[in-house]
């Protein structure tokens, strides 16, 4: 199971990942996936998931819809 982010779920947001470069390892529910460059993966609200970069060079867009304040949370956490 990927380790960058603990297994979690969102009550109201859909959590999407668009992989720009490299690969993201994801676990959605009980199933593991590898999402490579050009792939879009979306996790519905209420579904437990986690993810990790398989290489230091992985770049991705993370989109939460609707905005539940996650971007602000991440900004505050990085300060």
pLDDT of 61 > 50? The answer is yes
- Which tens digit of pLDDT belongs to each residue from 63-76? 888 877 777 776 78
Could you give the percent of the chain with pLDDT greater than 70? 89
Which token pair is 29? 């529910």
- Which tens digit of pLDDT belongs to each residue from 25-41? 889 999 998 889 999 99
Rounded Cα gap, residues 31 and 71, in angstroms = 26
Asked, for residue 8, whether it belongs to a domain, the answer is: no
Asked, for residue 4, whether it belongs to a domain, the answer is: no
**pLDDT at residue 32, rounded to an integer:** 92
**CATH number of the CATH domain containing 22:** 2.60.120.10
- Which tens digit of pLDDT belongs to each residue from 38-59? 999 999 999 999 887 665 677 8
Asked, for residue 6, whether it belongs to a domain, the answer is: no
Cβ within 8 Å of residue 54, ≥6 positions away: 22, 23, 24, 25, 34
Asked, for residue 2, whether it belongs to a domain, the answer is: no
Asked, for residue 47, whether it belongs to a domain, the answer is: yes
């Amino acid at each position: 199971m990927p380790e960058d982010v603990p297994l979690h779920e969102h009550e109201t947001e859909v959590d999407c990942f668009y992989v720009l470069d490299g690969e993201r390892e994801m676990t959605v529910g009980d199933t593991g996936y590898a999402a490579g460059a050009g792939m879009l993966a979306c996790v519905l609200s209420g579904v437990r998931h986690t993810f990790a970069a398989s290489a230091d060079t992985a770049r991705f867009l993370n989109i939460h819809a609707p905005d539940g304040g996650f971007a602000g949370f991440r900004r505050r956490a990085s300060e």
